[in-house]
Structure formats: structure tokens, C-alpha cells
Structure 1
Amino acid sequence: MYIRRKKYPSGNVGIIVVEKISGKMKELTTIGIAKSDEEVEALVKRGQEWIDREQQRRHPRLDLFGEERIRFERERMNAERLLNSITNIAIDGADLILDKVFDNVGFDRIEDDIFRKLVKARLSYPASKSATVEYLKNHFDDDVSLSKIYRYLDKLSDSQHSIAQDISVGHTRKILGGHIGVLFYDVTTLYFESDYEDELRKTGFSKEGRHKNPQIILGLLVSIGGYPLAYCIHEGNKYEGHTMLPVVTEFVRRYKLEDFIVVADSGLMNSDNVAELEANGYKYIIGAKIKTESKKIKEWILSQPKIDCQMVEYDKGDGKRLLVGYTDDRARKDAYNREKGLRRLEKAYRRGTLTKENINKRGYNKFLTMEGDVKVSIDYDKLETDAKWDGLKGYLTNTDIPASQVYAAYHNLWHVEQAFRISKSKIEIRPMFHFTRRRIEAHICICFVALKVYKELERLLKLTGINMSVDKVLALAQSIVTIQITLPQNKHTISRTMLMKRHQCIAPLFSDDFWVTR
């Protein structure tokens, strides 16, 4: 026996109990005629009760667990009604966390829903804009057209870039106790999957080995802890040393910084840059090119005893100090790398594949020398000279802080390197498939904000003792769903984010109380 719903020409629905006997369907009884969905559900329930009574009449039995069985059956029917009331399931665990962090930093000041969605997508599902559209549709049933995203990128104004930077700087100042103190600057290159250059995308020396692809140079200014402060983009063939001073000067002017130190790698510095830093009254710590110092200074450096983790100081006058440190670990690494490079050169030499094109100052080709116009050989005297510098690292500064603090500040440059690694591997800032300057700038701005959100979530995890990386938290959160149920009688909608046992380690992130004091 089972319940059949019979629809009449009038639109009403008859609820009938039928039974298949000898291959033919027989109507046993009509429970009633329903005019609405609510009446249908009520009659179906009555029909099921009629079937239960009829089966009990036909097959009477001693039921020792009748009340319990009825409770179980009622529980099952209630569960089925509940499941039938589900109107939406969103895979939004990571999205809910990123929403909270986004607002916690203060980016909710930018009242643009597309901007928020693109930033969160860079962190939870970094992909092309076309793939982002599919992600939003599949996970959130959110119909954002690709053309709408492109129109948004085209109109993303310079003022919005400035607001995003102001928010990032303001939040960073707050978490650092109101004082930024140290500015770390470095650059990287971002390539394009294209064969054509324009006024911005140009071929140049690529840090990623993509020398044939047009690229841009991205400069990034971060604070201690790696929190992004400002960025700049330049033509792909521009000398990276010319990118730092404009962005630092503009940042200092805009935010009225005082008592700060600029820290940068030696590759970004030349005598003109150092002179300009001093002319502006900036304090700095930069990597020193000790092998290109004057003969007198080089002799002094090599005459110093090499004691592990010890630093010596040379007064260069005019307030400039040259600090030279030595470590056994660096010495072993320098020797290993040189031997590795030598073996590569010797292998090429034996094969006869060394040519004058190999003669340059990069890498271990510096140990080659050219005799006449055709013969290239390895200069082993250069190897012996180079070995004298193993383990030595120089730092140039015009500050008066202790040598240990100079060392610590310079080696915090890894925060910028980490920021670039996050941008490239987690946020997937490149390769870029945009071709207009406006869209390129908009894409960089979105990735800059995504990096800030990433670093803020990383800070909160450490602060609250959640011993997991940002990547693991977001990966786990992507298995969390929010279920939406619409009650059949009053049409009221209830939503519930479902945290399973495996999610308890990140459960605090889904509590409103967690974000009240952060």
C-alpha cells in the first residue's frame, strides 16, 4: 500500500490509498481532496496513518515496542520534512572567515560588493576572472557576470587605490602600537602570457627566469611583521634601483612619518640612491657591496679575525658606518655554492660548450676569463680570491643603533620576500592576463588588499593560539557549509553554519565574540 496523489482538472489534488493486487492497481480509500500544499501535506499524513491502521488490522501482532516504534517513525517523518524544507546549501566556511577579517581590518569602508568578492576569491580560489565567475556561481549561487567584473576593473579609481592603502597603513599602525618605525622595501617581476610589449609591459631581467615574456616591476613597502604598506608598478625594463626613492618619499610625505629607518637590499642601492637618502634626511640600513669597496677598506675587512657571529665596524665618515659580520654557516654555504658552480663550469669546459657569451658578471661565470677572441677558460686564481670572502656580509647604515639591531633589522627583509612568495604562490598574482594599464593596476590593488587580509588572519591565528597556518585554516573551512531552511507554514527562513567535529579547532573563528575585541 502507498499514497497516490491524483490531480483533477479543477486543480485540486486527491489523496488516495492504493494497493497493487495481481498486477493491477486498486484504490482502497480516498483520504480527501486538497486545495493547497498545506492541505496536501496534512492529508498525506492522515493517509500514512490509515495505512498503518490497515496493516495492523490485516496482520495483528503483539507489539511490545509499539510506542517506541511510533516515536521512531514520527522522528523519521520529521527529519524527512526538514530535509524537504532545505532551500540552499552554501560552501561558504572560508568566505565567512575572510568576511570577518576583511571587516576587521577596515576594508568595509570600500562599499563595493564586487571588490569584496574579488579580494576573497584571490584567497580562497585564486584563478582567472572567468574561473572566478564560475566559482561564485557554484559555491554561492551568485550570478556575477564576467563583463560586470571587467567593467568594474576598468572603473576602479585611483581614489579607491588610495583608500585601500590608507586603511592598510592605519590598521598596521594600530597593531604596531601607533609607530611603524622600520620600512622594508624590495621589488619583484611579474610576467605576462604574451609576446607583445607596450609602454608598461616590457621585457627585461626576470627574477622568475621568464626573460622572453613582457613583464612589469612591482615594488612593495612593508612594515615589521610583513604587513603591506604601499606598492608601486613600473615598466618591466626599468632599473629596479630607481623604483625605491619615489615610493618611500611619497609614503613618508603622505603619512607624515618621523623617526623611521629604510631597509633595503644591496641590489637596490647605488651611490646616487644613498646620496638621495641622506639628502632627504632618511635613516637607512642597506646591504653593503663589500667586494667593491676601496682597496683600503677591503684590506681592512680581510685582516679581521673570522669569529662566528661576530661583527666589526668601520667608520666611513659623515655618520656612515660599515658593519661586517661573519658566520660559519654562511662560510660553509658560500663554499658549497662556489664548488657547485665550479663543477658546472668545468663540465661545460670539458664539453667545449663555453663561449664568449658566457662571459658576464652574473652567477659563477665571474670565474671565467677570455683569451684572445675565441678561447674561454676558468680562472682558478679568481676562485682562491673569492674564497677569502666566505662567510662575510656587509651592512651600511647612517644610524647610531647597536650593531646587533642593525643585523636584526636587515635580516627582517625576509618579510618582504615572504610577502612576494605569498602573493605569487597563494594569491597567484601572476601570470596576468590583463592587457590594459587600468586593469593591471586594478588587479594589483586587489592582490595588495588580499595580502593584507592574509597577513591579518595570520596574526590573529598566532594571537589566539590557533596553531595552524592560514592555508590550512582556509582549506579546512572550505568543507564547512551553511544550510538554509524555509519553514513550510510561515515561510520563515533559518540559516545554520554546520561545524562538524573536525572543525572544532577553528570553531572560535565562527563566533561573533571572537571578533568583538580584535
Structure 2
Amino acid sequence: MYVKTTKRENKSGTVRYLHLAHNEWDPVKGRAVPKVLFTFGREDDLDRDAVRRLVASLSRLLEPGEALASTAAGDLEFVSSVPFGGTYVLDHLWRRLRIDRIVGQVGQPKRGRRRDMSMTERVLFSLVANRALAPSSKLAAADWVTHDVHVEGLPAIDDDACYRAMDWLHEVTDDLEKRVFDEVANLLNLEVDLLFFDTTSTYFELEEADGPVARDDKGRLLTDDRPPAEEDGESADQAGFRAFGKSKDSRDDLPQIVIGMSVTRDGIPVRCWCWPSNASDQTLIRQVKDEMRDWTLSKIVWVTDRGFSSERNRRYLRQGDNAYIVGEKLRSGSPEVKAALSRQGRYGEIAQNMRVKEVRISDTERFVICHNPEAATRDQHIREQLVSQLTTLIEDTDKLSDFKRGELRGKIADKPGLNRYLRTTPSGKLRIDTAKIKTEENLDGKYLLRCSDPDLSAEDIALGYKQLLEVERGWRDMKQIIDLRPVYHRLEERIRAHVVLCWLALLLIRIIETSADATWTTVRRELDRLHLGTFTGPTGLFRQVTALTKPQRDLLAKLNIPAPKQIIALEPAPR
């Protein structure tokens, strides 16, 4: 049996009719002639649902493989399949945050020829999606977009387009970050009452650092012949962007830059900054506060760690209607720390692994001592191991010469953990410092917080500071999931743009994690299983999405993203 087509001419033109027919032998004519079994009617009025039900009903009479082979067109060719789910979800969220419109609104580049902003927006999205899904260099990212993934509206790009988009991004970063945050705040109804800030460093595989150039007080390049801005009567030093400094990744042997990030209590990254390697944590927080002041946020309580706890920084953070929660160094030896630790009082339980005690030693600031019993046990165990190791090292050293003891003393001095519990007698003998051990026992599992807000409870102060871990989690994901490094760029403006791309990728990831209540690793793995297949045939080319699984449907429902169309593209064959 087969489908037979007949034509009939009428006033409106040629009309085609479809019939189900089969050939029968006609002995009179001596040949096979078609016999119509059923008429489907006019082709333009065909009930396709009824035909689909008929085909499905007949397919049940065959084995699954035979049914598939019989219903597939013999001249249909499967060309390729690429991951589709990741870019589909990220693109929907990108548009929901109106970043596509923001890119078109922040304007043309300050110099150079005008650009196609729609293409620039698509290229920027593809670079952000690449950081979230398959981090790579910009050259590899261009190849990834062209061959290994489907990005709507961007069938192919080259590395030059990526670099041009990054140069534009560097020029408009400040305005773009502000507008993106406004959209995020509206989307998630963010209440930015606690703002966490921290810095990290990232290194470069270079043998030599960048040469020093003139910069303003914010670490940005001076674009004219004006002298560097002055602060408190001192000119800002000239500095190279990638330079040697104290590395938080224990790579002091390589040039690095300093990166800062502010994060909400929910882990949503608000903004990021870049500074040369010689930037001091003690001065960065003041710049950050000034720049965030222009964002017209409500009252903010800044939460920072011990690296930003100088008196000048604290005074600066109190300006306006703002306040702070700052970690204090227990071993600083300051009179305030000694007074806080010496005050008697009971701890209040706020969690299974947290006790707090507030002490009053100032009219303007509050001090909260936090104690973690589990951390105290861990600190005690580590100290016992260090003391045991040190005891073994200095055993029988009284018999050594002064030179040999001095040599051993120098080796121990290079190990801060051991050196903390070592003392030297007036005669040069090496001994365990029992007084230091007793002092350290009183600090086991404790950390001290300083707060200027008079309304926050001691519990809120402790839990607020504990959420500073969200920034640390952001740094960890930036370096391990989004691959902040290695950075395959030489120009400063492109390095800064690269950091902004990583920030945008982290922003989309955090919103997805918040909405789906799942880690990005889990979400990405599930989305990568949703593919887009490309088929060609005599009538042309079409792209079809694989059927959604239940986990994928549930994930899209949590993210409030509609299911993708089954057929993404139809391209008729040229006549």
C-alpha cells in the first residue's frame, strides 16, 4: 500500500487529493493497476492528527526497531548533535534580567567606529555562557560557539569579535554593573541590608611583571598627562597591573592582580573590582564604599574580615547611615581585644556549633565573642600535634653547640605554627613556651567581632559574619567552576573585562542555584543531556530538540522557564 496523489483543476487552480491505494493485477490489461482503498481528501485540508494516530496504531504491530525504521524517511540524514539545555536556560535568564537591552542602552564605544549592538550583545552572552558551561580561552570559546553548542542568533563567531566585544565591555563596565544589579534586585526582591566584601588574588604565568605606569587613586590608568590623584597629601604610586606581591594562592613567585567582590547575604554577587598587585586591603574598602554609595542602596551593614579592620576603615564605614561587622584579630595585643577577652560572662547558645557572648567596653562599638566547640576541639588537636613535633625537634639540643642550636632555631622560625610555642632562654637553650600554650588554650574555637550597629542582636551579628563564607564560596566557584584563571590576556583592559565576564557568569549561576535549590554542577550536568539534533533531507534542513526528561521538566518549572520548541529551525532546500 502507498499514498496516491491525484490532481483536479477548478476555478481556484490545481487541487491535490490524497488516497490510500495498492496495486492489483488486471488480467485484461495485463498489468498492475492502482485501487483506491480510502480517500483522505484535499491535501490542504488533511487531518494530520488522524494520520498520526493511524501511523501510531499500525506501529504497535511491529517491533520497536522495525517501527522506527519504517516511519523514518530513508533519505533523511542525521548531521550532528550539540548540547542545547545550558545555553537555553542561561539565555532565558539573561533576557529576563534584561541584559540584552542593557547592552543596547549603555551606548556606543567612546572611540572607534560604531558597532552592531545586537551582535555585540550576542557575543557577550556567548562568552558568559562559555565561562559557565565550558570555560576556555577566547579563541577556544569562538570555536566552541561555532561547532560545539547552539546559541540563538549567533551561528558562528571568531576571536576578533570576542576581543572587540570585551574592549567595549571594559568601557561601559560601571554603568552596566549598576543597571544589571537593579534588574537583579527587582527580579529577586533583594533586601541589601548586609553587604559582604572580600578580596582575593589571581596569578599569571609570567616571568616578568608589568612595567609601572601612572594611575589614579583607584588603581586605574591615567589617560592624560595629569599627575596621579593625591590622598592625604601623598601621591598614588606608579604601579604595573600584573606585579609581584603577597599571593593568597601561595604563588608569590608569579605576578598577580587583586580582585574584590561584594555579595549579598543570599550569595548574589553585586559588583566586582580589579586593582594592581600593590593595592592594600586597608585602603580598598573606602573606595568600594564610595562607589556603592552612588547606587542609592538602603542602609547597609558592611561585613568584612580582619584584613579591613583598621580604625580609619571603621570610621569611614560608619559615615552616613551605614554600619559594619568586622572580624578582629585575637592575637593583635590591642587593649580593646585584651579587655574583651578578660570580661566574664555567660555564653548564649544560638546553634549546635555556635555560642556568643557580648561584652561592652566602648560607647560606640559592640564586641561579640563567638565560640565554636567543634573548632575548639580541632584547635586543641592541632596544637598538641605541633607541640609534640616541636618537643621532638628540640630534644637533646642542650648538648649541641651554640652554632648548631642557632641553626635549628632559624629553621623553626620559618615555621610559624612551631615557632609560636618555642622560647629561648637567656643562655640560648630551646624550650617549650608553656605560658604561650596556656594563652592559646583560652583562644581555642573563638573569634572576636566588632560591630557599630546598635540595633543588631548578638546572634544576628554572629550569624551575619558567618555568612561571609558566601564570598569565599564565590571565590572558590570563580576559580574552580568558572575558571577565572588561567587568564589568556596581556592587555589590562581585557584582563578587567575577563573578570567582569566571570562575574556575570557567577551572577547567572547563583540565581539558578537560588531558584532551583541545587548546585550548578548538578544543574549543568542535567542540562547538558538536552541536545539539539540537525537533520537534512530532500526538502531542506531542520533542527530538533530531544524530548525532555522528568528531571529536566522539573528544573525548567523551578526556574519558571518554558519548555523549548521541538523544532528550532527550518531551512527549506534551495530550488
TM-score range relative to shorter protein: 0.7 to 0.9
Structure ranking higher on relative contact order (CA contacts 8 Å, 6+ apart) = 1
Measure how far apart 1:343 and its partner are: 4.4
* Corresponding residue for residue 149 of structure 1: 162
Normalized against structure 2, the TM-score is what?
0.69
- The aligned runs of 1:55-66 (5 Å cut-off) are none
Measure how far apart 1:362 and its partner are: 5.2
**Letter aligned with residue 336 of structure 1:** H
**Letter aligned with residue 91 of structure 1:** P
Distance 1:448 1:342 in 2: 44
Measure how far apart 1:380 and its partner are: 3.6
Closer, same or farther in 2 for the Cα pair 1:375/1:356, shift >3 Å? Answer: farther
Measure how far apart 1:167 and its partner are: 3.7
Measure how far apart 1:332 and its partner are: 1.1
**Given the alignment of the two structures, is residue 92 of structure 1 paired with residue 101 of structure 2, yes or no?**
no
Distance 2:313 2:390 in 1: 35
Distance 1:175 1:360 in 2: 52
Measure how far apart 1:293 and its partner are: 5.1
**Given the alignment of the two structures, is residue 118 of structure 1 paired with residue 127 of structure 2, yes or no?**
yes
> Is 2:368–2:448's contact at 8 Å kept on the other side of the alignment?
yes
Q: Give the alignment partner of residue 249 of structure 2, picking from 199, 208, 211.
A: 208
Measure how far apart 1:277 and its partner are: 2.0
**Given the alignment of the two structures, is residue 495 of structure 1 paired with residue 537 of structure 2, yes or no?**
no
**Letter aligned with residue 83 of structure 1:** L
**Given the alignment of the two structures, is residue 301 of structure 1 paired with residue 346 of structure 2, yes or no?**
no
Consecutive unaligned residues of structure 2, counting only runs of 5 or more, are 1-23, 26-31, 33-57, 104-117, 211-239, 350-354, 398-404, 563-575
Closer, same or farther in 2 for the Cα pair 1:408/1:512, shift >3 Å? Answer: closer
Task: String of CA shifts for 1:293-318, please: whole Å, max 9, x gaps.
Answer: 54576255245256573433222334
* Corresponding residue for residue 61 of structure 1: none
Q: Give the alignment partner of residue 96 of structure 2, picking from 85, 94, 104.
A: 104
> Is 1:291–1:298's contact at 8 Å kept on the other side of the alignment?
no
- The aligned runs of 1:343-354 (5 Å cut-off) are 343-346=388-391, 354=408
* Corresponding residue for residue 447 of structure 2: 393
* Corresponding residue for residue 316 of structure 1: 361
* RMSD, matched Cα: 3.6
**Letter aligned with residue 89 of structure 1:** S
Measure how far apart 1:102 and its partner are: 1.9
**Letter aligned with residue 302 of structure 2:** V
Consecutive unaligned residues of structure 1, counting only runs of 5 or more, are 1-48, 51-56, 58-64, 463-467
Task: String of CA shifts for 1:362-412, please: whole Å, max 9, x gaps.
Answer: 555333446789987653432222112223221101112111111111111
- The aligned runs of 1:20-169 (5 Å cut-off) are 76-81=69-74, 83-84=76-77, 86=78, 88-109=80-101, 110=103, 111=118, 112-140=121-149, 142-159=155-172, 161-169=173-181
* Corresponding residue for residue 24 of structure 1: none
Q: Give the alignment partner of residue 526 of structure 2, picking from 464, 473, 476.
A: 476
Q: Give the alignment partner of residue 262 of structure 1, picking from 277, 282, 302.
A: 302
The range that moved more, 212-221 or 143-152, is 143-152
Measure how far apart 1:75 and its partner are: 6.6
> Is 2:515–2:559's contact at 8 Å kept on the other side of the alignment?
no
**Letter aligned with residue 323 of structure 1:** V
Distance 2:428 2:180 in 1: 57
Task: String of CA shifts for 1:246-279, please: whole Å, max 9, x gaps.
Answer: 1122112x21123211011112221221122234
Distance 1:341 1:72 in 2: 68
Distance 1:348 1:137 in 2: 61
Closer, same or farther in 2 for the Cα pair 1:430/1:345, shift >3 Å? Answer: farther
* Corresponding residue for residue 285 of structure 1: 325
Q: Give the alignment partner of residue 514 of structure 1, picking from 551, 557, 560.
A: 560
Closer, same or farther in 2 for the Cα pair 1:375/1:96, shift >3 Å? Answer: farther
**Letter aligned with residue 514 of structure 1:** N
Structure 1 or 2: larger helix share?
A: 1
Closer, same or farther in 2 for the Cα pair 1:270/1:300, shift >3 Å? Answer: closer
Distance 2:427 2:253 in 1: 28
**Given the alignment of the two structures, is residue 247 of structure 1 paired with residue 247 of structure 2, yes or no?**
no
Measure how far apart 1:168 and its partner are: 3.5
> Is 2:478–2:506's contact at 8 Å kept on the other side of the alignment?
yes
**Letter aligned with residue 107 of structure 1:** I
Distance 2:68 2:486 in 1: 55
**Given the alignment of the two structures, is residue 429 of structure 1 paired with residue 484 of structure 2, yes or no?**
yes
Q: Give secondary structure in 1 for the equivalent of 2:123.
A: helix
Identity of aligned residues (%): 23
* Corresponding residue for residue 410 of structure 1: 465
Q: Give the alignment partner of residue 328 of structure 1, picking from 351, 373, 377.
A: 373
Aligned length: 444
* Corresponding residue for residue 107 of structure 2: none
> Is 1:216–1:235's contact at 8 Å kept on the other side of the alignment?
yes
Measure how far apart 1:187 and its partner are: 0.7
**Given the alignment of the two structures, is residue 444 of structure 1 paired with residue 499 of structure 2, yes or no?**
yes
Distance 1:281 1:457 in 2: 32
**Given the alignment of the two structures, is residue 219 of structure 1 paired with residue 292 of structure 2, yes or no?**
no
**Letter aligned with residue 374 of structure 2:** D
Closer, same or farther in 2 for the Cα pair 1:461/1:512, shift >3 Å? Answer: closer
Distance 1:504 1:324 in 2: 49
Measure how far apart 1:345 and its partner are: 4.4
Q: Give secondary structure in 1 for the equivalent of 2:465.
A: helix
> Is 1:90–1:139's contact at 8 Å kept on the other side of the alignment?
yes
Distance 1:72 1:387 in 2: 73
Q: Give secondary structure in 1 for the equivalent of 2:448.
A: strand
Q: Give secondary structure in 1 for the equivalent of 2:361.
A: strand
Distance 2:538 2:491 in 1: 51
Q: Give secondary structure in 2 for the equivalent of 1:285.
A: strand
> Is 1:355–1:375's contact at 8 Å kept on the other side of the alignment?
no
Task: String of CA shifts for 1:199-229, please: whole Å, max 9, x gaps.
Answer: 0111111111111011111111011111011
Closer, same or farther in 2 for the Cα pair 1:80/1:106, shift >3 Å? Answer: same
